[in-house]
Structure 1
Amino acid sequence: MKLGVVTSPKPEGFDYAKRLGLEFVEFCINVEQDVHAFAGTVKELKEASERTGVAVGSIGRWGVILIAKDGSVIEEELQAAYTLIDAASELGCPIFIAGCNYVEERSYLENVSSAIQFFSMLIEYGKVKGVRIATYNCDWNNFVYNDQAWRLIHGQLPELGIKYDPSHARYGGRDYLKEMKEWGSRFLHVHIKGSVIIDGKHFDDPPAGLDQTDWGTFMAILYGVGYNGGLSIEPHSEVWKGELGDKGVQFTVDYMKRLIFR
């Protein structure tokens, strides 16, 4: 397994990862960000990757409304996804991550049908570009984050992978170790993010290793299912910012390196 970090899509992000002794960066070009502006920086990002020796491990887009009320795929968002897959291909990035929103006016099975259509398009486009597709297990404008959806959608699309983050399962009241055991063979990418729940409620997302996640068992299951992909540290706390945040990221780097066999 390789260790990396979610960082801003700028050349400095590669230098940051290199200083931490990490092997890759991850870029999240989310709903509020300009896809075409990002695509315009691919050349300088590629140069930074080559200069530092730090790869791009994944590119993703979170929070997008891409299925219309009639169940059709919104063309503008489909083209945005294609643009990011193009960028991933140019950067030598093997994975593009996406979700699929739920349309309340339609039935669950109708939503599943739309999701299968959308991800099928991404998979076929990605094949040409050498990029695999994964769903994210977060519920931000996405319903493809649990066993029920995975059985229907990933069951129909054997080439569709999963980007897994245990904090989302914990906050959703699901058993993350059980999900890993049953679906770990489909994982293409993993987020390393701490989570703390007190009195049944979200408290904070501290650095991994300073939280309630059983990271030892987590890693044991990843090894058990044969996972050999990226582990991407995701700083996500409103508390761990600035100097404290930097210390927290370094703590997680050191902590996770002890759990990765070389």
Structure 2
Amino acid sequence: MKIGIIGFPDETTFQKASEKGIDFLEFCINVNSDFEGFIENIHVIKEWSKEYGVSIGSIGRWGSDRIDANGTLIEEEFKKSYLLIDAASELKCENFVCGCNYIEELSYYENCQAAIQYFSKLIEYGKSKNVKISTYNCDWNNFVNNHMAWTVIHGYLKDLGIKYDPSHARYGGRDYLKEMRDWGERFYHIHIKGSLIIDGERLDDPPAGLDQTDWGSFMAILYAKQYTGGLSIEPHSHIWEGDLGEQGIDYTLAMLNRFVFKV
């Protein structure tokens, strides 16, 4: 397993990652991101990766609509997915992460059919580019984030992976260790983010290791499932920012380095 971090696609991010001994960077080109700027800057990102010795471990896109009200693929968004897979391939990145929105006017079955159609095309295209496709397990405009959806969609699409983050299961009232036990073989990528729940309510996403997640058991299950992918730190708190945020990243790095054995 390698340790990475989510960051902005700029030189400062590469510099900091190199200084901290981080193996890879992850870029999330979400619905509110500068998509065109990222695509146009791929050649520069490639040079930074080479200069600082930090690879690209994952590229993803959260929050966008992939399916319209009729259950039809949205062509513009579909083309963006292809372009991001192209970018991943150019950057020697093996993972593309995405989700699929839910259309309330359609049945669950019809939504699953539409999602399968979307992911099938991405998987086929990704294979030609040596890029694997995963669904993210958060609910930001995405319904493919739980056992039922995975049973139907991943059960049918044997090459579709899961990007897993235990905080989403915790906030959704699900058992993250059980999800890992049942679906860990399909994990292609991992997000490392703390979660803190008090009196049934979300308080903060502190640095991993300063939260309520059982990270020892979490890592033990990954080893049991022979997971060899990336562990991507996700700074997500509005409290842990600036100098405090940097110290939080260092704390999580130290924790992960205790768990990641060099074999």
Q: State TM-score, norm by structure 2.
A: 0.99
- Aligned AA for 1:143? F
Task: Point out the more displaced range, 206-215 or 16-25.
Answer: 16-25
Aligned to 1:23: 23
Aligned to 1:107: 107
- Contact 1:185-1:227 within 8 A present in 2 as well: yes
Partners in 1 of 2:10 and 2:239 — Cα distance? 24
Partners in 2 of 1:46 and 1:116 — Cα distance? 32
Aligned to 1:180: 180
Partners in 1 of 2:247 and 2:95 — Cα distance? 29
Post-superposition shift, 1:128? 0.8
How many aligned residue pairs are there? Answer: 262
Post-superposition shift, 1:53? 1.1
Q: What residue ranges of structure 2 are gaps of 5+ in the alignment?
A: none
Partners in 1 of 2:30 and 2:20 — Cα distance? 25
- Aligned AA for 1:33? S
- Aligned AA for 2:228? N
1:153-184 Cα shifts (integer Å, max 9, x gaps):
00010000000000000000000000000100
Partners in 2 of 1:17 and 1:63 — Cα distance? 26
The secondary structure found in structure 2 opposite 1:155 is helix
The secondary structure found in structure 2 opposite 1:197 is strand
Post-superposition shift, 1:249? 0.5
Aligned to 2:92: 92
- Contact 1:35-1:84 within 8 A present in 2 as well: no
- Aligned AA for 2:209? G
Partners in 1 of 2:226 and 2:190 — Cα distance? 13
- How do 1:38-77 residues align onto structure 2 when only pairs under 5 Å count? 38-77=38-77
1:35-57 Cα shifts (integer Å, max 9, x gaps):
22211000010000111111000
- Contact 1:100-1:115 within 8 A present in 2 as well: yes
Post-superposition shift, 1:12? 2.1
- Aligned AA for 1:99? G
Q: What residue ranges of structure 1 are gaps of 5+ in the alignment?
A: none
Partners in 1 of 2:15 and 2:29 — Cα distance? 19
Task: Point out the more displaced range, 12-21 or 108-117.
Answer: 12-21
- Aligned AA for 2:14? F
1:11-51 Cα shifts (integer Å, max 9, x gaps):
22211111111100000000011322211000010000111
- Aligned AA for 2:129? K
1:205-257 Cα shifts (integer Å, max 9, x gaps):
00000000000000000000010100000000011011111110011011110
- Residue 201, structure 1, aligned to residue 226, structure 2: no
Partners in 2 of 1:100 and 1:4 — Cα distance? 25
The secondary structure found in structure 1 opposite 2:259 is coil
Aligned to 1:143: 143
The secondary structure found in structure 1 opposite 2:14 is helix
Aligned to 1:216: 216
The secondary structure found in structure 2 opposite 1:258 is helix
- Aligned AA for 1:144? V
Partners in 2 of 1:152 and 1:34 — Cα distance? 33
- Residue 157, structure 1, aligned to residue 150, structure 2: no
Post-superposition shift, 1:66? 1.3
Q: State TM-score, norm by structure 1.
A: 0.99
The secondary structure found in structure 1 opposite 2:260 is coil
- Aligned AA for 2:167? S
Task: Point out the more displaced range, 197-206 or 5-14.
Answer: 5-14
- Contact 1:35-1:83 within 8 A present in 2 as well: no
- Aligned AA for 2:103? V
